Structure 1
Amino acid sequence: MAFENVDLFDAVANASLEKYGWQDRCEAKLIVLSENATYMVKNKETGEKEGVLRISRPGYHTLDELNSEMKWLRQINDYTPLLVANPIKGLDGKNIQEITGPDGNVYFCVICDFLPGEAPDENNEEQMVKQFRYLGETTAYLHRQTEIWNGTDKLDRMVWTYDTIIGEHAAWGDWRAFPEMTPEAENILSEVSRIIKRRLERYGTNENNFGLIHADLRLANLLIEGDQIKVIDFDDCGFGWHLHDLASALSFIEDKPIVPKLVNAWLAGYKKVLPFTDTDFEEIDTFIMMRRLQLTAWLASHQESGPVAELSVGWMDGTMELAERYLRLFG
């Protein structure tokens, strides 16, 4: 459920600044209100952007899960050529501050470094292809880092499996709840879901295809500054198939004609850093289709969120086209 009470989160944001001793010189301005409340923290006098504040929805992550995310961010900055926003410690030396809101709930707040840069232009096809090559390379650096880091087994994060993505315990809800879902569409997509499950069971998990992943590594979560690639929004990071990072890169555009070019570009970038097997290649469509169903559930459970109305236009048509193609390939 997306947030609705802006005043409540403004109060939490202002209280969090006190934990850093910033209440006099900084102000927090809301950027987006969805799974989290995200604020830009600016210097009142100069207007300089000093950090980005994230207020987590109560119950979405535990304190241990958030601390695990912070540990990975520091590992990435220390051991890869990528740049991510490190957390800023509060006056108590902690990365995560606990604020009791006006409603009595406890909210976990994190302020990370502000990273300058521009999000890729998703309307420029030539640039999109070029940036997907960067994105593939970026993803491979993340996967390689988690393979060599022996601290991943100490992290407490979500495990993204068929069950938690689109199965009975799907974290983002039931795709069948999408408002435009018809009995016919549900029957077709249920068959697609069964095939996905069967293929994933055959694909299996091993140290080469499953590990710590970003899980939402789409262009909106990249910042480009010259040749420097910066990665943001690790809120969904957890343990899952590496291919889920490719599928999530195509979020909301899975049915667009440009997708094959983007996939090839992503693969070209990825293979500069890590190998990509024929077995992996055979399951690309499975992961793209699974991500589409996951996003269908997300749209269904966020109907009151601003961007959802626009994203939902034509969604079922595109989803059914993907489903029919998937059934032709694997049905």
Structure 2
Amino acid sequence: MLMAPEEKPTARPMLYEDALLERLEAGLRTALPKWGLGKDPKVKLLTVSENATYLVERADGSKMIFRVHRPDYHTEREIRSELAWVAALREDGVVETPETIPTEDGAPLASFSDGEATRHIAAFSFMAGKEPDADDDLVKWYGELGEINARLHGHARDWQRPEGFTRKTWNFDTIIGNGALWGEWSAAPGLTKEGHAILEKTADLLRQQTDAFGTGEDRFGLIHCDMRPANLLVDGDRLGVIDFDDCGFSWYAYDFAAAVSFLEHEPYLPDVMAAWVEGYRKQAPLSQEVAAALPMFVMLRRMQLTAWIASHGETETAQSMGEPYTEGTVTLGESYLAEHG
């Protein structure tokens, strides 16, 4: 996650204890000369979740963002593929997003050893702005986001991907099925026997529905997969998009579901959904079938996030959500079954 310095960093999760954070900053500093940075530049930790993100300020006051990747999630090839797409999106004027900055030798990544693990480092230009929130005109910004998504999806369909391009596939199985990459929803904190039964029925229905919806080329391809408000930066009339770390192959409509992460229960959800659809249709066709499927993908994403909270209990986000989020997921699942079952 890339953040402007005026944003407040999240509390440190237990995963990132002081000793580890000291090692990560020391490792980052050993790599900074590869980007031509002088001795002892100002380094500020912005946020930590599974990656650690830093703001680095040069002597002349210019700023860069560095992302120190967590091990055992993305391979080096996957990270290079992400950066290649970001560079292409910028070159083709598809979306306002930070520039990827290679080392002085032209390498897209650097790395350092952290015990037995290798930590990859990616660098980006600094982008000013703030996360849109409930005090902003979210309907307006989700309309803008719909337009951005339409352009991004069109680019993904037409772009000639470089040889070896590799990103994860986000389908039912890898989202909440047997191969779920973010863990099991059934391990959610506070999940009761009754709640488990409701979510199991919900998952079964979602499997049937996503199978029926299919993965044709008109509806499944390369997407950002995490355009939630924390990964959007508003600066005046500009809406910037950051953090393509989870980009991969999934349903195009899943980009909307990811964009309303942790907002699935809000009463304004139908309004931002309608705005997103309207914005999308300003740039590209969006069938009624796909628009009608958005609630399905919102429920699927909600269950994925419930699994993430269960498997990432050491993080500040998971700790802040806890059992109430699980209870909310059960309530949404019950409503979904009543309406769509």
TM-score range, shorter chain: over 0.9
- Specify the alignment match of 2:303 in structure 1: 293
RMSD (Å) for aligned C-alpha atoms: 1.7
| 1:304 and 2:304 matched | no
| 1:163 and 2:178 matched | no
- Specify the alignment match of 1:139 in structure 2: 149
Deviations 1:165-191 (A, max 9, x none): 001111110111112111111111011
1:193 to 198, 203, 212: 203
- Specify the alignment match of 2:42 in structure 1: 27
CA–CA distance in structure 2, aligned partners of residues 312 and 128 of structure 1: 26
CA–CA distance in structure 1, aligned partners of residues 213 and 104 of structure 2: 48
Shift of 1:276: 1.1
Q: Counterpart of 1:117 in 2: which secondary structure? A: coil
2:75 to 28, 49, 62: 62
- Specify the alignment match of 1:85 in structure 2: 98
Could you tell me whether the CA contact under 8 Å between 2:148 and 2:280 is conserved in 1? yes
1:114 to 105, 110, 126: 126
- Specify the alignment match of 1:42 in structure 2: 57
Aligned AA for 2:200?
S
| 1:267 and 2:282 matched | no
Shift of 1:19: 2.1
Identity rate, percent: 36
Could you tell me whether the CA contact under 8 Å between 2:172 and 2:207 is conserved in 1? yes
Q: Relative to structure 1, is the Cα distance of residues 25 and 149 closer, same or farther in structure 2, using a 3 angstrom cutoff?
A: same
Could you tell me whether the CA contact under 8 Å between 1:82 and 1:230 is conserved in 2? yes
CA–CA distance in structure 2, aligned partners of residues 177 and 14 of structure 1: 38
Could you tell me whether the CA contact under 8 Å between 1:14 and 1:27 is conserved in 2? no
Shift of 1:24: 1.1
Unaligned runs of 5+ in 2: 1-13
Q: Counterpart of 1:19 in 2: which secondary structure? A: helix
CA–CA distance in structure 2, aligned partners of residues 322 and 152 of structure 1: 41
Pairing 1:218-229 to 2, within 5 Å after superposition: 218-229=228-239
Shift of 1:228: 2.4
Deviations 1:8-43 (A, max 9, x none): 211122122122231416232111111201111112
Shift of 1:227: 2.6
- Specify the alignment match of 2:5 in structure 1: none
CA–CA distance in structure 1, aligned partners of residues 161 and 174 of structure 2: 24
Query: What number of residue pairs does the alignment pair up?
Result: 326
Aligned AA for 1:123?
A
Could you tell me whether the CA contact under 8 Å between 1:55 and 1:108 is conserved in 2? yes
Unaligned runs of 5+ in 1: none
Shift of 1:2: 4.4
Shift of 1:281: 2.1
CA–CA distance in structure 1, aligned partners of residues 162 and 66 of structure 2: 25
Could you tell me whether the CA contact under 8 Å between 1:26 and 1:42 is conserved in 2? yes
